[in-house]
C-alpha cells in the first residue's frame, strides 16, 4: 500500500516536473518575433520579449499526445490521478516560489515600488526616481515578500519567468481539460462526448488559444507592470490555473444521458454569452493596446477620445466603464460554468465566475489607486467622465 502510494506520487511529481521543465526549455529555445515591451528593466529600458508562446503551446500539446501514442502517459492521466497530480503541482509551486523569492532577496535586487517603470514614463523624472530608488527588503516581513514577490520581471538568461509562468499555466490547464474529455469519452456508452462537454471544451480552447495568441497585447497589462513574481503568481500559474480553472469540467465527466444533455438552443445561448464577454474583454484590451502604440490611431473605425492633455482613453470600451474588460471576463466565466450547471445541476462550476468577481473587484480598486498616483488630477477627471468602475450604469 505504502509502496503503491509512493509510486503514484513519484509518477505525479515526474509528470508535473516534466511538463514544467520541458515547457521552460522550449520557451527558452523556440524562436519567435522579438518585440520591445512596455515594462522596463532596471536601467529604464523597455524589456525585449520573444513572442513564441503559441509555438511552445502547440509543441507542448503535441508532446503530450506523443507520450500517449507511445503508451507512456495516457491522455486521461490527470483525470484519473487528479489529487496526486494536484498535490505534486502544489509542492513544485511552493518550492519554486520560495526559490524565486530567496533569489530576489539578494542584496540590491528587491524592487519596492508599487509598479515598475513603463515605456511611457521613461522621460518622467519622478517616476524614474521612484523606480530607481534602492528599496530596502527589510522594510517588510519575509511572509509579505513570499506572498507578493520581490521583482517585477525576473529573468534567467533567455527565460522571462513571468511570461513562462503564464504560458505553462495555460498549457497545464489545457492538458487537464483534455484529460477530462478523454475520461468522459471513455465513460460515455456510445463513446461520443455530450453536447455540454463539447461546448465547454470549445469555449475553453478558444479562451486559452486566443489568450496565448495575444501575448503581445498582455505586455501592456497590469500583470506585467504591477505584479511581482512571488507565491501569488507562481502558485497561481503552476497550481491554481490548471487545477482550479478547470473546476467546471468535472461534473461533465460522468456519462450523461441524452435527456440530461444540453439542447442545441442552450448550447447556442451559452456560446452567445461567451462571445459577448469575449468581445468586451478582447475589445477593451485591443483598443488600449493600439492606443498605447499610437495615440492617434482609430480602433474599429472610431478615433480615440482622451482626457485632455493625457493618454487616458475615455471613448469606446474605456468610456463605458473603467474596466469593461473585467466584466467581459466574468461573463465568459459564467458561460463556462453553465454547461455543468444546466446539464448536471451541480453548483461547483459556479466557483469559477465567483472567483473572477472576487479577483476583479479588489483589483479594479487597486488599479484605480495606482492610476490616481500615476496621473494625479487627470485621473479624477477620467473618473468624473466615466463614473462606473466595471458594470456600466450599475457599478
| Residue 378 touching ligand NDP (CB under 6 A) | no
**3 within 8 A of 76, measured Cβ to Cβ:** no
Work out how close the CB of 268 gets to ligand NDP at its nearest, in angstroms, rounded to a whole number. 24
Q: Which region among 14-22, 79-87, 106-114, 366-374 touches ligand NDP (by CB under 6 A)?
A: 366-374
Site for ligand NDP in 276-295 (CB under 6 A): 281, 285, 288
| Residue 90 touching ligand NDP (CB under 6 A) | no
Residues β-bridged to residue 35: 49
Cα–Cα distance for residue pair 123/312, rounded to 1 Å? 17
- Size of site (CB under 6 A) for ligand NDP: 19
Please select the residue that binds ligand NDP; options are 162, 174, 363, 378, rule is CB under 6 A.
363
Measuring CA to CA, how many Å separate 130 from each of 125, 135, 327?
Answer: 9, 9, 32
* Closer Cβ to ligand NDP, 262 or 371, answer by number: 371
Q: Which region among 3-11, 78-86, 147-155, 320-328 touches ligand NDP (by CB under 6 A)?
A: 320-328
**48 within 8 A of 37, measured Cβ to Cβ:** yes
The CA-based dihedral angle spanning residues 108, 110, 112, 118, taken in that order and rounded to the nearest 10 degrees: 90
Cα–Cα distance for residue pair 75/179, rounded to 1 Å? 5
| Residue 326 touching ligand NDP (CB under 6 A) | yes
| Residue 325 touching ligand NDP (CB under 6 A) | yes
Residues 181-220 as x/- pattern, contact with ligand NDP by CB under 6 A: ----------------------------------------
Measuring CA to CA, how many Å separate 81 from each of 21, 241, 255?
Answer: 20, 17, 19
Measuring CA to CA, how many Å separate 139 from each of 45, 136, 232, 268, 338?
Answer: 27, 6, 20, 54, 46
| Residue 317 touching ligand NDP (CB under 6 A) | no
| Residue 390 touching ligand NDP (CB under 6 A) | no
Instruction: List residues near ligand NDP by CB under 6 A.
Output: 118, 221-223, 281, 285, 288, 312-313, 318, 323, 325-326, 329, 363, 367, 370-371, 374
Amino acid at each position: 500500500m505504502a509502496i503503491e502510494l509512493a509510486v503514484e506520487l513519484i509518477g505525479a511529481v515526474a509528470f508535473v516536473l516534466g511538463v514544467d521543465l520541458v515547457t521552460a526549455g522550449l520557451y527558452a529555445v523556440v524562436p519567435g518575433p522579438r518585440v520591445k515591451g512596455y515594462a522596463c528593466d532596471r536601467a529604464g529600458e523597455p524589456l525585449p520579449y520573444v513572442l513564441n508562446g503559441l509555438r511552445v503551446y502547440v509543441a507542448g500539446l503535441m508532446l503530450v499526445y506523443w507520450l500517449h501514442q507511445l503508451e507512456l502517459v495516457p491522455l486521461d492521466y490527470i483525470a484519473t490521478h487528479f489529487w496526486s497530480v494536484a498535490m505534486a503541482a502544489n509542492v513544485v509551486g511552493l518550492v519554486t516560489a520560495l526559490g524565486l523569492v530567496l533569489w530576489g532577496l539578494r542584496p540590491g535586487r528587491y524592487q519596492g515600488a508599487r509598479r515598475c517603470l513603463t515605456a511611457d514614463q521613461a522621460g518622467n523624472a519622478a517616476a524614474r526616481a521612484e523606480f530607481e530608488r534602492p528599496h530596502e527588503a527589510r522594510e517588510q516581513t519575509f511572509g509579505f515578500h513570499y506572498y507578493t514577490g520581490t521583482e517585477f520581471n525576473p529573468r534567467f538568461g533567455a527565460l522571462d519567468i513571468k511570461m513562462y509562468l503564464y504560458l505553462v499555466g495555460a498549457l497545464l490547464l489545457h492538458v487537464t481539460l483534455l484529460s477530462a474529455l478523454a475520461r468522459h469519452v471513455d465513460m460515455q456508452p456510445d463513446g461520443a462526448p455530450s453536447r455540454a462537454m463539447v461546448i465547454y471544451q470549445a469555449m475553453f480552447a478558444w479562451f486559452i488559444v486566443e489568450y496565448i495568441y495575444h501575448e503581445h497585447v498582455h505586455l501592456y497589462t497590469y500583470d506585467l507592470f504591477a505584479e511581482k513574481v512571488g507565491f501569488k503568481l507562481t502558485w497561481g500559474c503552476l497550481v491554481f490555473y490548471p487545477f482550479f480553472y478547470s473546476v467546471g469540467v468535472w461534473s461533465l465527466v460522468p456519462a450523461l444521458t441524452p435527456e440530461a444533455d444540453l439542447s442545441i438552443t442552450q448550447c447556442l445561448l451559452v456560446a452567445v454569452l461567451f462571445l459577448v464577454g469575449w468581445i468586451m474583454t478582447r475589445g477593451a484590451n485591443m483598443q488600449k493596446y493600439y492606443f498605447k502604440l499610437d495615440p492617434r490611431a482609430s480602433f474599429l473605425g472610431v478615433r480615440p477620445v482622451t482626457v485632455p492633455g493625457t493618454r487616458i482613453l475615455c471613448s469606446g470600451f474605456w468610456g463605458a466603464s473603467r474596466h469593461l474588460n473585467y466584466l467581459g471576463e466574468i461573463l465568459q466565466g459564467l458561460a463556462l460554468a453553465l454547461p455543468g450547471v444546466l446539464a448536471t445541476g451541480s453548483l461547483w462550476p459556479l466557483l469559477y465566475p465567483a472567483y473572477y468577481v472576487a479577483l476583479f473587484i479588489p483589483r479594479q480598486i487597486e488599479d484605480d489607486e495606482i492610476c490616481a498616483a500615476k496621473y494625479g488630477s487627470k485621473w479624477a477627471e477620467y473618473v468624473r467622465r466615466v463614473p462606473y468602475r466595471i458594470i456600466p450604469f450599475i457599478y
